[in-house]
């Protein structure tokens, strides 16, 4: 009897044990792009059970009883991960995401896998954004051997193919870059952001950027071409996002002081403080910059302050605030005619022209990790800013200043917005996928007026008799609501498809008056007229796009992207007060699409390339053509020129030749890069006589930047050569600027730059010579301020910087 009872007990015990066994199935993926992670070691509890993931990232652990287990996951290229899972006899399946060593939730910190010249690319999924199948670049300023103190755009953006840069501001107060036929003026054809929020005057009504973050405070610059229209807004150019430096994680306080001096009275002082104290982290800087300029009457003073403070509420939630304050006052020497430029590019006949900017940005951001596969981000941001311009600016540039009342224009911008994003990783039908959905609300209110300023020579931004002599006064309220979604479908471990869609509602208004002051031959006012005007333009539409990515090997990515683009007319398009310009009253929004097809390497330290074809179809392109008024004065009319087709090849190749020749040696490096764009442009159709078949303005056929960086241990030296071929400044392809200087060709130019950098303990010394051969050239013909006319670029200049880090 006892034997039977014992046998029954043993049977029941082993049956219970058998039914209590589990098989755990898992998949290990990279959080950056949801790719499978092979050869990941998975330990259970104390390590007595261990398995390794296969090439698809899958692993299986057998014979686990019911209970709670701790899994330890390790792989040489990813951060160690520990997590708990509870088994209850259901043979579960889990997905585990690992962070690459060079990725954190909010930023990309590039380590030994970065390009040796400071250029990398966006990951497939990064910073609550999807970039799979898109043409993208990331500039890392700290890895550049370049002149950072003056924000020298020619050097900083030299690795980004096809960019066209205005270079009339030697101090780097404003960034003006375009590409693929887009007007570079104040980077108005890109969505320009700082840490993901808007910094332009008005993203819809006036998307010009008067504020440019100091390069010394930037951690990286993200650039995504036209395919960014679905996630960030509809601009043809795409996205430029300045990601500021992040708080130092391993110190309570880190101080960096940089002092720079250079030619033409240039001085720059930059000081930053950073650190982490328990759950609180911070990064802040202050910059003062001054100079006298290459030409007379070009003095400036600039002040910029920035603060970022973050608080880690929990392991899943982080809150941060940003504040940016910038102010500068600049004297402007005015523009030149073609004859004046040929005679003496440094001459100026304007001593009473001034420009003043105050820019205040504020932002709140919340990041929350919902669970292992889901994240949420919220940004609330605002802008309170102003820009004032004052000066004597007749149509005839050579006219001598008669010391009469100056023209004064004031713009005040008060805008705010909010954007929310939700990112979800999931596995439909056993395939991995990443979904991003988001929404945006934007409200802008801008006030612009123009009238007579004082007849003095100082920076007096007060109107003379404003009740009588303000001839232009408008208020521009606008509102924008957008919804967007993109999804990466990994159909195969080597192939993905990323469709996207964006809904936009835009409402732009204009309320005010414009007028005219008539004078007799003696300069006395004999008549003042005003015309009241009110406009309301609301529209809604849907944009679509799709991206493809094929990775035949681990180091090659073949990508393609087709995205629709849209650009609404700005309030400068709706109404302008400029003696050399007129506006077509029937002006309409611009529409079109952009296509990219390319092949690129995955990032390595020895060799890197990205070669792509692009095609841009630009319908209703807004531009300017030369015309004449009743008195036969040359004017520029702003109108819808027609359909512009722009196509070409953009290529970037860099290689550490010395590293390839002898990978074992580490003391010497010799990096060569070539950035070349060859572009064909044409107005395919136009109702304007003399335009069809002409080249599109701001499109040099050849745009080449190449250079070499040589290094021995810590000493680094770089040489850069830049060449752009001829380009036109307006649609009829006029060659001669005449007495106004605002139209005509921009001749080809070639520029050389040399820079040096050497760190020693807590110190670093940097030096540069810009425009080594002292070429006389220009990149811009301005229609208004800071012209009108040709704005010469700087001649040869020297700079030196001393940095101390404590």
Written as one string, the DSSP assignment of 410-426 is EEEEEEEEEEEEEEEEE
At 657 the pLDDT is: 83
User: Is residue 482 a part of any domain in this protein?
Assistant: yes
Task: State whether 236 and 342 are in the same domain.
Answer: no
What is the distance in angstroms between the CA of the first residue and the CA of the last residue of the chain? 84
pLDDT of residue 569: 82
Please report the pLDDT score of residue 77 as a whole number: 73
Residue 34 lies in a domain: yes
Lowest mean pLDDT among 2-16, 511-525, 760-774: 2-16
- CATH number at 334 reads 2.40.170.20
DSSP 496-508: EEEEEEEEEEEEE
Q: How many CB atoms lie within 10 A of CB 77?
A: 13
Mean pLDDT of 616-635: 76
Q: Are 759 and 714 in contact (CB under 8 A)?
A: yes
Q: Summarize the confidence of residues 86-104 as an average pLDDT.
A: 74
Quote the pLDDT of residue 419: 96
Please give the pLDDT value at position 523: 63
Counting the structural domains of the chain, the total is 3
Give yes or no: residues 66 and 194 share one domain: no
- Helical (H) or strand (E) element with 5: helix 2-19
Contact present, 698 and 178 (Cβ < 8 Å) = yes
Using DSSP bridges, classify how beta strands 581-583 and 495-519 pair: parallel, antiparallel or unpaired: unpaired
CA dist., res. 317 & res. 329, Å (int) = 41
**And the tokens for 197?**
């929020």
Bridge partners of 13?
none
Instruction: Answer yes or no: is 597 within a domain.
Output: yes
Over 70: is that where the pLDDT of 9 sits?
A: no
Residue 318 is predicted with a pLDDT of: 95
Higher pLDDT, 678 or 740: 678
Q: What is the mean pLDDT of residues 468-476?
A: 86
H helix runs in 449-532, sequence order: 466-469
- Predicted confidence band of residue 108 (pLDDT cuts 50, 70, 90): very low
Under the banding of pLDDT at 50, 70 and 90, the label for residue 117 is: low
Per cent of the chain over pLDDT 70 is 91
Is 180 a domain residue?
A: yes
Which pLDDT does position 631 carry in this prediction? 63
Which of the two residues, 628 and 81, has the higher pLDDT score?
81
Calculate the CA 450 to chain-centre distance. 31
Residue 348 lies in a domain: yes
Q: Name which residue leads in pLDDT, 638 or 572.
A: 638
Q: Which two tokens stand for residue 540?
A: 């809604």
pLDDT tens digits, 597-609: 999 987 566 788 9
What's the pLDDT band for 6 if we cut at 50, 70, 90?
A: very low
Are 89 and 143 part of one and the same domain?
A: no
**Coil, helix or strand at residue 572:** helix
Nearest CA to 459 among 364, 542, 389, 554? 389
pLDDT value, residue 101: 63
Beta-strand pair 78-87/67-75: antiparallel
Asked whether residue 696 carries a pLDDT value surpassing 70, the answer given is yes
Structure confidence at residue 603 (pLDDT): 59
How far apart are the C-alpha atoms of 125 and 134, rounded to whole Å?
11
Mean pLDDT, rounded, for 47-74: 81
Tell me the pLDDT tens digit for each residue of 229-278.
899 988 889 999 999 999 998 899 999 999 999 999 999 999 999 999 99
- Of 240, 261, 285, the one marking the end of a domain is 240
**pLDDT confidence of residue 578:** 58
CB 305 within 8 A of CB 327: no
Q: Dihedral angle at the C-alpha atoms of 72, 76, 78, 83, nearest 10 degrees?
A: 0
**81 confidence band (pLDDT: 50, 70, 90):** confident
Structure tokens at 448: 């612009």
Better-predicted residue by pLDDT, 561 or 493: 561
Q: At 169, is the secondary structure helix, strand, or coil?
A: coil
Contact yes or no for 636/686 (Cβ under 8 A): no
Residue 278 counted as domain residue: yes
User: Tokens standing for 546?
Assistant: 């799709």
Both structure tokens of 508: 């732009």
Cβ distance 58 to 70 under 8 Å?
no
pLDDT category at 123 given cuts 50, 70, 90 is: confident
H or E, element range at 339 = helix 338-343
Checking if the pLDDT of 642 tops 90, the result is yes
296 has a pLDDT exceeding 80? yes
Is residue 18 scored above 50 in pLDDT?
A: no
236 shares its domain with 254: no
Residue 726 located in a structural domain: yes
Last residue of a domain, one of 240, 269, 291: 240
Report the CATH number that the domain containing residue 123 is assigned in CATH: 2.170.130.10
**pLDDT (tens digit, 9 = 90+) per residue, 779-801?**
999 887 788 899 999 999 999 99
E strand spans, 151-299: 163-165, 177-179, 191-194, 197-198, 218-224, 239-244, 254-262, 266-277, 280-291
User: Is residue 592 very low, low, confident or very high in pLDDT (cuts 50, 70, 90)?
Assistant: very high
Q: Name the more confident of 672 and 580.
A: 672
pLDDT over 90 percentage in the chain:
55
Q: Considering only residues 632 and 619, tell me which one the structure prediction assigns the higher pLDDT.
A: 619
Please give the mean pLDDT across all residues of the chain.
87
**Whether residues 399 and 268 fall in one domain:** yes
* Shared domain check, 716 and 729: yes
Residue 234 sits in the same domain as residue 337: no
Compare 373 and 35 and report the one with higher pLDDT. Answer: 373
pLDDT of 521? 67
Ranges 80-89, 183-192, 539-548, 718-727: which has the least confidence: 80-89
Q: What pLDDT, on a 0 to 100 scale, did the predictor assign at position 778?
A: 95
* Residues 232 and 269 grouped into a single domain: no
At residue 171, does pLDDT exceed 90? no
Checking if the pLDDT of 114 tops 90, the result is no
Read off the pLDDT band of 115 (50, 70, 90).
very low
- C-beta separation of 493 from 478 below 8 A: no
In this prediction, residue 79 carries a pLDDT of: 80
Could you tell me the CA-to-CA distances from 107 to 47, 82, 129, 540 in Å, in that order?
32, 22, 12, 34
Which residues constitute the domain of residue 699?
241-795
Instruction: Mark whether 423 and 448 lie in a shared domain.
Output: yes
Q: Same domain for 261 and 207?
A: no
Going by pLDDT thresholds of 50, 70 and 90, the confidence category of residue 633 is low
Side-chain-facing half-sphere of 635: CA atoms under 13 Å: 18
Segment among 193-207, 424-438, 600-614 with least mean pLDDT: 600-614
d(CA 181, CA 195) in angstroms, rounded, equals: 27
What does the pLDDT read at residue 111? 39
pLDDT average, residue stretch 173-187: 89
Please check whether residues 39 and 152 belong to one and the same domain.
no
> For 511-526, what is the mean pLDDT?
74
pLDDT at residue 113, rounded to an integer: 41
Domain assignment present for residue 2? The answer is no
284 and 374, same structural domain? yes
Q: What is the CATH number of the domain that holds 89?
A: 2.60.40.10
The pLDDT of residue 446 is above 60: yes
> Could you tell me the sign of the dihedral formed by the alpha carbons of 673, 165, 413, 293, in that order?
positive
């Amino acid at each position: 009897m006892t034997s039977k009872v014992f046998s029954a007990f043993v049977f029941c015990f082993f049956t219970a044990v058998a039914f209590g066994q589990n098989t755990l199935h898992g998949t290990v993926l990279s959080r950056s792009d949801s790719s499978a992670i092979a050869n990941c070691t998975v330990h259970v509890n104390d390590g007595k059970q261990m398995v390794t993931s296969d090439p698809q990232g899958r692993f299986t652990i057998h014979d686990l009883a019911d209970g709670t287990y701790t899994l330890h996951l390790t792989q040489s290229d990813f951060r160690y991960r520990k997590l708990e899972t509870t088994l209850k006899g259901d043979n579960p399946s889990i997905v585990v995401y690992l962070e690459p060593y060079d990725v954190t939730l909010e930023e990309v910190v590039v380590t030994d896998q970065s390009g040796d010249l400071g250029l990398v690319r966006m990951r497939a999924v990064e910073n609550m954004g999807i970039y799979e199948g898109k043409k993208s670049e990331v500039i890392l300023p700290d890895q550049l051997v370049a002149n950072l103190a003056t924000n020298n755009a020619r050097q900083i953006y030299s690795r980004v193919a096809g960019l066209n840069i205005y270079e009339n501001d030697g101090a780097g107060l404003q960034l003006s870059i375009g590409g693929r036929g887009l007007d570079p003026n104040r980077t108005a054809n890109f969505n320009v952001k700082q840490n993901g929020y808007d910094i332009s005057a008005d993203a819809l009504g006036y998307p010009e950027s008067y504020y440019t973050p100091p390069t010394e405070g930037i951690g990286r610059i993200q650039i995504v071409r036209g395919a960014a229209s679905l996630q960030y807004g509809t601009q043809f150019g795409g996205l430029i996002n300045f990601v500021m430096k992040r708080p130092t994680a391993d110190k309570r306080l880190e101080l960096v002081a940089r002092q720079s001096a250079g030619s033409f009275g240039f001085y720059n002082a930059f000081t930053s403080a950073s650190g982490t104290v328990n759950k609180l982290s911070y990064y802040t800087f202050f910059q003062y910059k001054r100079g006298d300029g290459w030409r007379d009457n070009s003095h400036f003073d600039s002040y910029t302050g920035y603060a970022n403070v973050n608080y880690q509420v929990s392991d899943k939630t982080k809150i941060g605030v940003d504040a940016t304050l910038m102010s500068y006052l600049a004297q402007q020497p005015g523009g030149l005619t073609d004859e004046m430029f040929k005679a003496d590019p440094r001459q100026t006949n304007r001593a009473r022209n001034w420009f003043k900017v105050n820019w205040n940005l504020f932002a709140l951001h919340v990041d929350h990790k919902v669970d292992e596969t889901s994240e949420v981000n919220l940004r609330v941001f605002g802008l309170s800013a102003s820009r004032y311009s004052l000066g004597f600016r007749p149509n005839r540039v050579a006219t001598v200043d008669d010391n009469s009342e100056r023209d004064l224009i004031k713009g005040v911008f008060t805008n705010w917005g909010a954007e929310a994003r939700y990112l979800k990783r999931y596995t439909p039908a056993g395939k991995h996928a990443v979904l991003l959905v988001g929404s945006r609300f934007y409200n802008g209110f801008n006030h612009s007026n123009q009238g007579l300023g004082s007849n003095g020579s100082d920076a007096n931004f007060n109107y003379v008799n404003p009740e009588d002599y303000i001839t232009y006064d408008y208020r521009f309220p606008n509102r924008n609501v957008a919804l967007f979604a993109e999804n990466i479908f990994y159909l195969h471990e080597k192939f993905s498809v990323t469709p996207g869609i964006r809904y936009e509602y835009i409402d732009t208004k204009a309320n005010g008056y414009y007028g005219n002051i008539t004078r007799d031959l003696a300069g006395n006012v004999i008549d003042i007229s005003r015309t009241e005007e009110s406009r309301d333009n609301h529209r809604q539409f849907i944009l679509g796009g799709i991206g493809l990515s094929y990775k035949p090997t681990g180091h090659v990515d073949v990508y393609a992207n087709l995205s629709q683009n849209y650009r609404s007319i700005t309030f400068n398009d709706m109404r302008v007060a400029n003696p050399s310009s007129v506006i077509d009253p029937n002006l309409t929004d611009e529409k079109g699409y952009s296509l990219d097809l390319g092949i690129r390497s995955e990032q390595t330290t020895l060799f890197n390339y990205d070669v792509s074809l692009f095609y841009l179809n630009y319908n209703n392109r807004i531009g300017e053509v030369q015309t004449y008024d009743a008195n036969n004065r040359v004017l520029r009319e702003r109108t819808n020129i027609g359909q512009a087709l722009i196509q070409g090849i953009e290529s970037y190749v860099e290689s550490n030749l010395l590293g390839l020749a002898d990978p074992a040696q580490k003391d010497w490096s010799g990096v060569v890069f070539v950035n070349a764009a060859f572009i064909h442009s044409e107005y395919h159709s136009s109702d304007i006589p003399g335009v069809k078949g002409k080249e599109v303005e701001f499109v040099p056929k050849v745009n080449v930047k190449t250079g070499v960086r040589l290094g021995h241990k810590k000493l680094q030296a770089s040489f850069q050569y830049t060449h752009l071929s001829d380009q036109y400044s307006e649609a009829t392809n006029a060659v001669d600027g005449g007495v106004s200087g605002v139209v005509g060709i921009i001749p080809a130019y070639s520029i050389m730059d040399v820079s040096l950098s050497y760190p020693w303990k807590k110190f670093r010394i940097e030096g540069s010579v810009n425009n080594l051969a002292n070429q006389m050239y220009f990149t811009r013909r301005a229609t208004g301020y800071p012209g009108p006319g040709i704005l010469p670029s700087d001649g040869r200049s020297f700079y030196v910087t001393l940095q101390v880090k404590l």
